[in-house]
Amino acid sequence: MGLQSETVMTVDDTTKSQLRAPEGVTPMMAQYLEIKAANADSLLFYRMGDFYEMFFEDASVASRALGIALTKRGKHLGEDIPMCGVPVHAADDYLQKLIALGHRVAVCEQTEDPAEAKKRGAKAVVRRDVVRLVTPGTLTEESLLDAAPTTSSRLCSGSRTETGAEPRFALASIDISTGELIAATCRLTDMPGELARIRPGEVLAGEDLASDEAIRNLVKEAGAALTPCPRAHFDSVRGERALKERLGVAALDAFGEFSRAELAALAGLLTYVELTQVGRAPLLRPPRKESADKLLLIDAATRVNLELVRSNQGTRAGSLLAAIDRTVTAAAARELASRLSSPLTDGPAVNARLDAVGYLADEPRLRQDLRDGLKAAPDLARALARLAFGRGTPRDLGAVQTAIGAAHALAARLLNAGEALGLPRELMAIAERLAQAPQAVAASLSAALADELPVNARDGGFVRPGFDTDLDELRALRDGSRKVIAGLQATYAEATGIKSLKVRHNSVLGYFVEVTALHAPTLTAAPHAETFIHRQTMANAVRFSTTELAELESRITSAAERALALELDIFARLTAEVMDAERSLSSASAALAELDAYAGLAELAVEQRYVRPRVDDSTVFAIEEGRHPMVEQTLRREQSADFIGNDCRLRGGGDDQNDAPSALVVTGPNMGGKSTFLRQNALIVVLAQAGAFVPAKSAHIGLVDRLFSRVGAADDLARGRSTFMVEMVETAAILNQATPRSFVVLDEIGRGTATFDGLSIAWAALEYLHEVNRSRVLFATHYHELTALADRLPRVANATVEVKEWREAIVFLYRVKMGAADRSYGIHVAKLAGLPAPVLDRAGAVLAELEKADGRPKPADLAGDLPLFQAAVSTRPDGSPSKLAEALRDYNPDGMTPKEALEALYRLKGLLDDA
């Protein structure tokens, strides 16, 4: 019956009046209005036979959103009732569209058989009730979940804690399609980055928090839907009690130390899931406490700039995830996306991951065997979640059976390899978890399930013949009805001596005996009159029934229903057996995903010639011949060129034992590779601390606590921010939060304002990073004046990208070397871009004047006698003489009559207009 009083959305008076059921309304419409009133904040999918119907305003909204026809059905309060509907079999496609547009949908199903309703009277209405609310954060169906791991249906809940000088927020999140549950606490300034990392589809907040404009903006920027909930849902005692009950434990200490705010966020989360799923409890893995000091903090802007899991176009293609993903299962692709989004700062944990990747990289035969075995492993986590919600299918049970078999086969392969070579700690732990997958459950499923499984349990036919004797008998009766009827017809024909006697069936009489009118007296006379009961006389035939035929009809008609009911009962028993072993199955599911992620990273390392980075607690950053993973693979696909690797050496401000600079000022022309150089080093940090090998000849990385990247230009007009304002906001966040262990990438700071203003800001920001933040910094700029800081600040050095001038053009070498560029070659790049020759000539002349000026030049200095008009009309874009220039060259003014001169002037004017 929906959220009822729990619903937060208000309903206006007009809507309330429409939802009342006045006298005279049909029983069906009265039922609809009652259910809709309890779910006024959602579109109501009202089940009527093979369609979900919508009425009133819901119908108008849905017809526009889905592009389906809006019709009418009867009247209400004297007006036509708008109506539209969607077929039940195609409902998922329509739900996906509505959820993407931000709608919530209440799914109302028939909860009894229509035949049962008829027993209560001819006008009785089939009982219906809302069985679930579909929202952006509560999707479980495979068709509704985005197969690509770049988007998320994760549900997130927030609760404020006032401890400390700065407000902090507890965030709890759950992926109800897998049962993964996480809790963490962050500062308000880190909230955008945390939401970008979690990537929720929906965020829950108490009414007080949801009314905060800053919170609303943060959720909107994260691309999530904000759902206000009653403050009472966020009760820490309620959350602690619910977790203990669900996990079957007396204390939560084994899962981490959760604050009261985190427990309150978890309470809001679990309450909402229970309400939207109408009492059905989700699959729930043990909660994981994430500590801010254990994860590499990456703000939202940096995640966008570096294209970690999505490209700038919002797609998976072109992202770092797409470049490195070599997994063979969907669960592992999600695990890899999670690791890229949440790199570690725990050195032993990072190196344990690297040990696993390195081991599999060195064992090609084992790696290939594991990848072949993993291809057979279905998505166990999502199958378990659907079964837990009561939305499972026979194929989900089949997936559990197959996954258990794959888990044991992979465990055996790993343990055999371990006996011969020894396994790293991570792989040994995976092998042990795989080996614990419940074989007894697999045996039960194997005995019960048929080889070919239907999509839905109600389709039947998923139980193996021979598994249940009663089911086999019912199936035999159902499937052998024609043979039974034919045998009975032959018996009657022989007993009566009427060879033309037929046993037929229609929807009115059911099964009946039919003879011609000529033979009817035989059946109405003794001794057959007691057996054959007259039912109907036709023009040329007479129909009879028999007790035996009626009993057989009853058995045949109900055999299919009883067979299906028995199969559904078997399905329920098998589901219960699976869920009893949920804990070990979930552990095996996670182990399969982790193993595939490690094998995929090992495959990547061998395929792309990546190396294992040395990761420790120093502040060293030493990369030899580093490469950009996405650009390199693009070049290889296009077979245009090999990527040129470049070195980068930095040290944190607290490392006085290293002679490398802490900040590198990178100058050189556009298109020369500065931005690529900056980004590739930031991406190497992410890959290394996620536990992956990196694209370089060698790499030594001291653990980074925060990663910042200020690259590119974009405005935020919706919030009244210009491009330069966005740039300054992001720069301010870096200067206020970076530490000596941070890694900072800044590209073209200060270019969005006047030259001297921008130069001053860039100069001061670099000094601040050097003196106060003391971070490892890559600072690309076209302000060549900044290269002077290398002589003034001890930990600043210059680097430039090499170019070669040849025949008045430049050749990009894409090689970074120490030193400063003498100029930016901007006009050369403009020429490569195809600017018209007159514009290039004029730009060159202006540049010459600017270079001669000492300080800021005056506008008059640039507007003198430079031949702008002449340049525009005397040459074509390729530099050849224009028609106007050719005509002028052919004219001899001294030899013209006045009339000829006037005609020539008109011709020139025409040529000038054409130019």
Domain of 369: which CATH number? 1.10.1420.10
Do residues 166 and 271 both lie within one domain?
Answer: yes
Please report the pLDDT score of residue 484 as a whole number: 82
Residues linked to residue 190 through DSSP beta bridges, in sequence order:
none
Summarize the confidence of residues 473-490 as an average pLDDT.
Answer: 84
Do residues 658 and 715 both lie within one domain?
Answer: yes
Do residues 812 and 840 both lie within one domain?
Answer: no
Establish if 486 belongs to a structural domain.
Answer: yes
Model confidence over 778-832: pLDDT tens digits?
999 888 888 889 999 999 999 998 877 666 666 666 788 888 876 666 666 666 6
| Least confident window among 344-348, 355-359, 852-856 | 852-856
Tell me if 750 is assigned to a ligand binding site: no
Q: Mind spelling out the 3-state secondary structure of 273-309? A: HHHHCCCCCCCCCCCEEECHHHECEECHHHHHHHCCC
Please report the pLDDT score of residue 828 as a whole number: 63
Total domains in the fold of the chain = 7
Tell me if 305 is assigned to a ligand binding site: no
Model confidence over 50-108: pLDDT tens digits?
899 999 999 999 999 999 999 988 887 778 899 999 998 888 889 888 988 888 999 99
Summarize the confidence of residues 698-714 as an average pLDDT.
Answer: 88
For residue 654, is pLDDT > 80? no
Do residues 79 and 161 both lie within one domain?
Answer: no
Please report the pLDDT score of residue 557 as a whole number: 74
Do residues 408 and 446 both lie within one domain?
Answer: no
Establish if 830 belongs to a structural domain.
Answer: no
Please report the pLDDT score of residue 817 as a whole number: 87
Range of the domain at 124: 4-134
Domain boundary at 237, 266, 290, which?
290
CB-CB contact of 433 with 587 (8 Å): yes
Domain of 172: which CATH number? 3.30.420.110
Percent of the chain past pLDDT 90, that is, above it, reads 44
Nearest one of 84, 87, 15, 17 to 54, comparing CA atoms: 84
Q: How many residues does the chain have?
A: 915
Tell me if 39 is assigned to a ligand binding site: no
Please report the pLDDT score of residue 871 as a whole number: 45
Tell me if 673 is assigned to a ligand binding site: yes
Summarize the confidence of residues 479-503 as an average pLDDT.
Answer: 89
Tell me if 720 is assigned to a ligand binding site: no
Tell me if 672 is assigned to a ligand binding site: yes
Q: How confident is the model at residue 4 (pLDDT cuts 50, 70, 90)?
A: very low
Please report the pLDDT score of residue 80 as a whole number: 86
Tell me if 671 is assigned to a ligand binding site: yes
733: left (phi over 0), alpha (psi -120 to 50) or beta: alpha
Do residues 598 and 735 both lie within one domain?
Answer: no
For residue 233, is pLDDT > 50? yes
- Provide the mean pLDDT of the chain: 84
Question: What is the three-class DSSP state of 383?
Answer: helix
Please report the pLDDT score of residue 556 as a whole number: 78
Establish if 319 belongs to a structural domain.
Answer: no
Residues 6+ apart with CB under 8 A from 772: 735
Summarize the confidence of residues 760-771 as an average pLDDT.
Answer: 90
126 vs 720, which has greater pLDDT?
126
Do residues 124 and 211 both lie within one domain?
Answer: no
Summarize the confidence of residues 703-721 as an average pLDDT.
Answer: 72
For residue 378, is pLDDT > 80? yes
Domain of 714: which CATH number? 3.40.50.300
Does the CA dihedral 528-531-535-539 come out positive or negative?
A: negative
Domain boundary at 757, 791, 824, which?
824
Establish if 302 belongs to a structural domain.
Answer: no
* C-beta atoms surrounding 583 within 10 Å: 15
Question: Does the global pTM surpass 0.75?
Answer: yes
Do residues 90 and 189 both lie within one domain?
Answer: no
Please report the pLDDT score of residue 869 as a whole number: 42
Establish if 140 belongs to a structural domain.
Answer: no
Lateral strand order in the sheet of 510-516: 502-506, 510-516, 541-545, 533-537
Establish if 313 belongs to a structural domain.
Answer: no
Q: How confident is the model at residue 854 (pLDDT cuts 50, 70, 90)?
A: low
Separation between Cα atoms, residue 816 and residue 647, nearest integer Å: 7
Please report the pLDDT score of residue 293 as a whole number: 79
Domain boundary at 567, 591, 606, which?
606
Model confidence over 570-587: pLDDT tens digits?
999 999 999 999 999 999
Domain of 121: which CATH number? 3.40.1170.10
Tell me if 864 is assigned to a ligand binding site: no
Do residues 774 and 853 both lie within one domain?
Answer: no
For residue 342, is pLDDT > 80? yes
Q: Which residue has the tokens 């000596």?
A: 740
CB-CB contact of 544 with 531 (8 Å): no
Separation between Cα atoms, residue 568 and residue 554, nearest integer Å: 21
Do residues 257 and 174 both lie within one domain?
Answer: yes
Do residues 741 and 770 both lie within one domain?
Answer: yes
Do residues 381 and 259 both lie within one domain?
Answer: no
For residue 864, is pLDDT > 90? no
For residue 406, is pLDDT > 80? yes
